[in-house]
Chains A and B, each alone.
Chain A
């Protein structure tokens, strides 16, 4: 799993039922739009994230699109993050540069 994906999943999991807008996720995960949106697109393709358009609250306001983890997405995200944490705990200190995520395993997210 890549570090940006990990940050996005963690942002989603802070409140799995919450509706997340792209910009909110950018801020929560400290990512740029150019990194976030392709990732959201991929998660949506894999049916881990769903998206919908909100109804505008004020006249003239453009509707915004929000994202939510699906039930599968919540399960997969929790599992992947737990595995990542376990792998980090197992790995001896100093073997990995701080802040760098593990190389994605074949067939896994990331």
Chain B
């Protein structure tokens, strides 16, 4: 089939997205399982037209995104803790504070307090960003 490799790649990307929603311990296995089915669907001898096979394969891959919302204890928990709210709020307000500090530094050149506070805010922002990344954006896959 023409463009088969590209189609399979699209399918793999979709399955990859689906697996990002799964807990790490089952993510790789599910990815391997679902990706292994893609060429089988794409070459299904029971489906006559290649276009339909391609559509079926993409449908299969899209379906895994819904299937990744597993019930019960397999469901990936996305708890919003106080820490998450705090880090999120800091990430929103700190750039604004940094902007004000920079504005102050520009308005009053030579005033060391403006530089000091701008530097402090910048450090805080970097620390928050690090915290945000360490807490893990939900479902970041290592595929």
Contact = CB atoms under 8 A, between A and B. Distances in A.
A34 B65 contact: yes
Interface in B50-80: 59-67, 69-72, 74
Contacts of A62: 32, 35-36, 39
A21 B60 CA distance: 13
Interface string B29-50: 1101111110111001010000
A21 B71 contact: no
Contact of A21 (B39, B40, B59, B65): B40
A34 B30 CA distance: 13
Contacts of B37: 21-23, 64
Contact of A65 (B33, B46, B71): B33
Contact of B33 (A22, A26, A38, A42): A22
B40 A33 contact: no
Contacts of B32: 62-63, 65
A104 interface: no
A96 B62 CA distance: 33
A33 B11 CA distance: 13
Give the size range of A's interface with the partner. 10 to 19
Given A26-B60, A33-B60, A64-B33, A38 B40 contact: no
Contacts of B65: 34
B48 to A, nearest CB: 15
Nearest to A32: B63
A59 interface: no
A38 B65 CA distance: 11
Most buried by B among A34, A35, A42: A34
A65 B36 contact: yes
Contacts of B46: 27
Nearest to A34: B66
Contacts of B71: 38, 41-42
Interface of A: 21-23, 26-27, 32-38, 41-42, 45, 62-65
Given A34-B67, A45-B72, 6 more contacts: A33-B64, A35-B67, A37-B30, A42-B71, A62-B35, A64-B37
10 contacts: A23-B44, A27-B46, A32-B59, A33-B64, A33-B67, A35-B66, A38-B69, A62-B39, A64-B33, A64-B40
